[in-house]
Chain A
């Protein structure tokens, strides 16, 4: 990965991997575990799908087109001064491990890591790891990320810790204006911002709230939430978005329609009507669980902490499940020795690419289990010493 100063400059082939480590060490703002309703809401994100006027969309863009789009975006995004530091990562120049690390940090999609066009298979379309594509990451804090040449030319994303959709919208709106001041977007009076997939056309906006809903999962009421959300044209997805399974009781709720409703109306529906109801539903369920099965819940979250602080072998799924229970314990005030930021950081650090990057070497699955258990033990021990 290459770090870029604000001024456009030649690619700097400095030590690849340095930046990956820097990302791990400085941390993403959305992992802080702070903000409104942070007992239930992990993060709030807004993304905009945008295409540049004058270029074909990704499925029909030639390699030359794609390279030109990357070059143009590199120049324009750096020039627009969108963050204190904008890290420009040409995805062809980084290892598969580092691309996976970016996926685990929610900075790029799985499709983008592999050089595919969204989740679509395009006949005769050029896809593959060598395809010109990039991501720009706003530092510090990783609040901003812009995928270049994913399903659309630009996929702009802003993420915040806690329930902060309105703040995220304000921020992304400014960023969008700054880019638009330098580059023409494909726009149509009737259809709005034009996107490769018509399901994104119009505002091109997707609000997404990542919620931790262990109590609703436990009571089975999560099904009701999913059904109600679907009735309101909202999607309920897993930890890693489209096509991913719910992992450790984390769910993302996002809008599916982008045409005919303005950004403000969509925001209002989610921020004031839908999400607060889900948050309240989860809180009520947690309280009821405490009242009716207090000992059982306390036992479960302390067992989770016990395993995490003592296990010698940990698989990703098991670690994630236990960390989810630990998060519940922290949110309910049952565990005071650990804070949410530590739990959130561990949620990422136990993922395969993070684990290998943090350990500084590639490992087999068996080696990873040992390293994962060791890392979790050490981090939790460190965090608990700090708190006492």
Chain B
């Protein structure tokens, strides 16, 4: 594809949404520089953001009330901590830092589900020291286990997995999942603290 200047090949592609209108720009590096669009991910983020009066949001959390299915600007979503764009992540297959998981939480969701057999939440080990600290009262356990909504979602997932295991007569597996459900459910102020005792022994 040629750049708008008609001279060079367009190597920088930017998609911006302003007032719901999608604006595409396909530029060569020279024109991009003139327009103030930097291909360098390490460029000053603040100055980049300042150029776009309406920076595309990192995407609402999945538990948020109204989430548009896929914002057209998703490829240009940028992690404010390390400068990685979602488009860059799609090309390289690697995220740039821990904050990318927050910045790309919305577009990452479907990718994770595909990669992990439909799973959306972590189940399993939690860093011990962080957990111990939470028990000592320094850190609310919610900070480790997620918001009430997130935990409710995890509990629902576990219940579903238990039901599937029981249906397939995998009782040992069901018991194991059940233990996990209990561990999660016994956390203070958990929505699953009053679980019925439906241990799936056949």
Chain B residues positioned under 8 Å from A256 (CB to CB)? 115
Chain B residues positioned under 8 Å from A55 (CB to CB)? 97
* Residue of A whose beta carbon sits closest to that of B97: A56
**B51 interfacial contact with A, CB 8 Å:** no
B122–A260 touching, CB < 8 Å: yes
Asked whether A188 and B118 contact (CB < 8 A) given A123-B88, A198-B111, A265-B173, the answer is: no
**Using an 8 Å CB-CB cutoff, how does the interface string of A42-54 with B read, 1 for contact, 0 for none?**
0000000001010
A59–B125 touching, CB < 8 Å: no
**A36 interfacial contact with B, CB 8 Å:** no
**A122 interfacial contact with B, CB 8 Å:** yes
Asked whether A202 and B94 contact (CB < 8 A) given A60-B84, A189-B145, A260-B117, the answer is: no
Asked whether A59 and B108 contact (CB < 8 A) given A233-B117, A257-B117, A260-B120, the answer is: no
Listed stretches B19-27, B29-37, B127-135, B192-200; interface member: B127-135
Q: When the two chains form the complex, which single residue of B94, B97, B125, B127 contacts A197, counting CB atoms closer than 8 Å?
A: B94
B41 CB, min distance to chain A CBs, angstroms: 8
Q: When the two chains form the complex, which single residue of A176, A184, A187, A260 contacts B118, counting CB atoms closer than 8 Å?
A: A260
A261–B93 touching, CB < 8 Å: no
Chain B residues positioned under 8 Å from A59 (CB to CB)? 84, 92, 94-96
Interface residues on A, range: 35 or more
Give Cα A174–Cα B31 distance, bound, in whole angstroms: 55
Interface residues on B, range: 35 or more
Q: When the two chains form the complex, which single residue of A60, A177, A261 contacts B82, counting CB atoms closer than 8 Å?
A: A60
**A386 interfacial contact with B, CB 8 Å:** no
**A224 interfacial contact with B, CB 8 Å:** no
Chain A residues positioned under 8 Å from B120 (CB to CB)? 190, 259-260
A187 CB, min distance to chain B CBs, angstroms: 5
Chain A residues positioned under 8 Å from B129 (CB to CB)? 180-181, 184
Given A176-B125, A263-B125, A265-B173, output 5 extra A-B contacts at Cβ < 8 Å: A58-B94, A181-B129, A188-B98, A257-B116, A265-B176
